[in-house]
A and B are shown apart, each in its own frame.
Chain A
Amino acid sequence: AQSVTQLGSHVSVSEGALVLLRCNYSSSVPPYLFWYVQYPNQGLQLLLKYTTGATLVKGINGFEAEFKKSETSFHLTKPSAHMSDAAEYFCAVIGGGGNKLTFGTGTQLKVEL
Chain B
Amino acid sequence: DAGVTQSPTHLIKTRGQQVTLRCSPKSGHDTVSWYQQALGQGPQFIFQYYEEEERQRGNFPDRFSGHQFPNYSSELNVNALLLGDSALYLCASSLQGNMNTEAFFGQGTRLTVV
What is the interface of chain A, defined by CB distance below 8 A to chain B?
32, 36, 41-46, 49, 51, 90, 92, 94, 98-106
Contacts and interface: CB of A to CB of B under 8 A. Distances in A.
A92 B33 CA distance: 15
A2 to B, nearest CB: 11
A51 B105 contact: no
Given A90-B42, A105-B41, A51 B100 contact: yes
Contacts of B33: 100-101
A43 B106 contact: yes
A45 B40 CA distance: 17
Given A41-B110, A98-B55, 17 more contacts: A32-B99, A42-B108, A44-B90, A90-B43, A92-B42, A98-B56, A99-B31, A99-B48, A99-B98, A99-B101, A100-B56, A101-B35, A101-B43, A101-B45, A102-B45, A103-B42, A104-B42
Given A45-B105, A94-B99, A99 B94 contact: yes
Contacts, number: 60
A102 B102 CA distance: 14
Contacts of A104: 42
Nearest to A51: B100
B87 interface: no
B1 to A, nearest CB: 15
Q: Which 9 pairs from chain A and chain B are nearest by CB?
A: A103-B42, A43-B105, A44-B105, A100-B45, A43-B107, A98-B56, A99-B99, A105-B42, A51-B100
A101 B103 contact: yes
A45 B108 CA distance: 12
Contact of A98 (B48, B92, B103): B48
A105 B55 CA distance: 25
26 contacts: A32-B99, A41-B107, A42-B107, A43-B90, A44-B90, A44-B105, A45-B105, A46-B102, A49-B102, A51-B100, A92-B42, A98-B48, A98-B55, A99-B48, A99-B99, A100-B48, A100-B56, A101-B33, A101-B35, A102-B45, A103-B42, A103-B43, A104-B42, A105-B41, A106-B41, A106-B42
